[in-house]
Structure formats: structure tokens, C-alpha cells
Structure 1
Amino acid sequence: MGNGIMGKNEAFLRVSAILVLVLTACLVGLNTQTKTIIFTIQKKATFNDMDALVILVYVASVAAGYNLLQLLYKSSASVCYGGKFEGSETHNIYMAWVCFLLDQIAVYITVAANTAALGASLLALTGEEAFQWTKVCDRFTRFCIQIGGSLLCGCVACILMAVISSVSAFKLFRLYSPKLFLRLKTR
């Protein structure tokens, strides 16, 4: 697989991840529903009511920004240096390690935030009689359906970012010799 094809595939994956992460953040962040409880008393459901959803909005936004920065960095390196980083071989390996580790961190944090939001949303959906917590989704149905859609988008984003991380791992470990453990290939 050539560098050009791998670079185009990675760019496509990063753009897709950015779009899905922005969609996730917007669906959660802009989702509100107001219900009249008793005559003039109204209750409004927003993402601020659940800390896990607030964290999901922040994490999805930061992850989208990170992927955008990676996309811009790699495209500028491709334009300026013809697809190769300028500098020594050790600079290439350090940059490959940095990109790999940052991709890993982004995936794990996004998965953690999405999982926490999913757990909190399931609790809002089912309630908990032992704590006398009522089912929130019985009252705010549209709100819960939109949160469910945003969590589905978040899962798709996590899968896309895991694939990006795999591509990053491939790019890193192809620089090493297959015969000698963690030794750089000699040219």
C-alpha cells in the first residue's frame, strides 16, 4: 500500500470522524425539550442536567479539533515536503510516535466519554427504584430519542477513530525492522 493511498484514506477517515464528532456535539449540545408539569410550572430538559452529557460535548468538540489539527498538519507536510517530513530519520520516528500516542489518547478518551454518557442515559431511561429516581424519558421522549441518536453518532466516531489509530500504528511500526525487535529499518 503506497503512501499516497494511505494518506488519502487517512484523510478521508479524519474528515469523516470530524463530521461525526461535530454532529455528536451539536445533537447533544443543542437538544432541549420543555414540558408543562402542572398548569404553569414548566420543566426544561437540557444536556446540562447530566454531567456525562456535558463531558461528552466537550470531549467530542476537542476530539474533532484534534483531528482537524492532525489533518492540517499532515496535509501541510504533504504539500511542503512532497509527502515526507523534512529532517532526519529520528525526527520521522519521533513524529510517528507522537501521532500514534495522541491518536490512542483521543480514541480512549472519546470511548470513555461516550460510554459514560451511554450509562447515564440508560439510567435516565430505566430509572432506579432503590434510589427513587424516576424515568426521565417517560416525560421527555423527544429529548431522549435525540440523545440516543447522538450516542449512536458517538459510537460511529469512536469506530472511525479506532481505525485511524490502527492506520497510525501501521505507519509507525512499518518503520521498524520485522527481524530485529524494535530496531529501525536500515535503508
Structure 2
Amino acid sequence: MGSIFLDVSNGLKALDLSLRLFVIPFNVASIWITVTNHQDNTVYGNLEFNNFKGLKYMVCISAISAGYALFAAVSSYLKCLLTKAWLFFLTDQVLAYLMVTSLAATSEFLYLAYNGDKVVSWSQACDTYGKFCSRLRIALVLHIIAVCCFLALSVISAYRVFRRFGPPFVPSEEAEHART
């Protein structure tokens, strides 16, 4: 049974490292597409990434998560950091939640850009700035992939931390009858 546990542990370690390395190019590509995204319109003017705080939030969180993923992948070879499972667990959890919030903010921005909001008299922007919206949609898809990777990483790191603890003690029926 010990060898099965080691195989699962080695498999999880390889999956963890692979996901951490896999998430970096998706975050970098998402950042690059978002930051370089702009479109000029002769009627309404220039539209670029700097005009929107929600997009800046996504770029910031993507940069932090890519940097952390690289750090965590490199530190997997260093024994002094590898034993700090709680550190990776907490950081993975926080970054997974932050990435979900940046995904929600960017999705809301895109929804409003495509559909507008008639109640507050916001018109659709993507009719006028189609190239900008299309590129932002590609960046959002790449960000979704990175979010899914971080959600999986948070589950793996939680398993690594909590597998050290046994299940709670539940007395058997025989022991209960012996006590009464």
C-alpha cells in the first residue's frame, strides 16, 4: 500500500509542476493581448487598455499569478521550500480566488461592451470597436484556461496539506456497546 501512495504522490507532484508551468504562457499571452489591444475610431476616438480599471486588474492578477507559478515551479526543486505545504496551500487558494474575481470583472466588462445597458443608457461598444472586443475575448479565453489551472492547483495543494491528517475518530458500534 505504501508504494501506491508514493506513486500517487509522485503523480501529483508531476501534475502540480506541469500545471504551474502550463499556466505561465497562458497568463503571459493574456497580458500581452490585453496590454497591446487598442483601436482607433474616427468618430469616437481611440480605445485602449489603459482606459479600463477592470482590465488593469486582470493584467495585474495575471502577472502576479504567472510570477508565483514560476517561483513555485522553481522552488519545487528546493527542499527547504517544498516542506512548506501550508505556504503553497494558502498562496494557491488566494491566487485562485483573485483570478476568479478578475475573470468576473473582465467578463462583466465584455458583457457590457457587447450588450450595453439600456437602463443607464450605455450603448454597445463592440459594434464600433469590433477588433478591440475580439482581441479582448481571446485574452479572456486564455485567462479562463489559467483560472482553471489555478483551481486545479488549489485542490492539489489542499490535498497535499490535508492528507497528513487522518480522518476523525468515529467509534465503532462494538466499542459503543462495550461502554454502555
1:9-158 aligned within 5 A: 9-37=15-43, 43-77=45-79, 92=83, 95-158=84-147
**Which residue is equivalent to 1:5?**
11
The number of residues matched between the two structures is 164
Among 147, 164, 168, the alignment partner of 1:175 is: 164
The structure number with the bigger radius of gyration is 2
Structure 1 distance, partners of 2:36, 2:138, is: 13
Q: Secondary structure at the match of 2:159?
A: helix
Matched residue type, 2:64: V
Q: Deviations over 1:158-185 (max 9, x none)?
A: 111111111111111111123549xxxx
1:166 aligned counterpart, secondary structure = helix
3-state secondary structure, aligned to 2:126: helix
Q: 1:2 to 1:123 in 2, by over 3 A?
A: same
Q: Tell me, what secondary structure is at the counterpart of 1:176?
A: coil
1:3 deviates by 3.4
The aligned amino acid for 1:61 is A
Give the AA of the match of 1:123: L
Please list the CA deviations of residues 51-78 of structure 1 after superposition, one character each: whole Å capped at 9, or x if unmatched: 111111111111111111111111233x
* Cα separation, 2, equivalents of 1:105 and 1:99: 10
- What do the CA deviations read for 1:114-148 (whole angstroms, capped 9, x no partner)? 11111012111111222222211011101101111
Please state how far the C-alpha of 1:7 moved relative to its aligned partner.
Answer: 1.7
Could you state the TM-score of these two structures normalised by the residue count of structure 1?
Answer: 0.81
Residue 108 of structure 2 aligns with an amino acid whose one-letter code is: G
Distance in structure 2 (CA, Å) of the matches to 1:167 and 1:146: 32
Q: State the one-letter code of the partner of 1:4.
A: N
Identity %: 24
Q: Which runs of 4+ in 1 moved over 4 A?
A: none
SS at match of 2:123: coil
Distance 1:120 1:171 in 2: 36
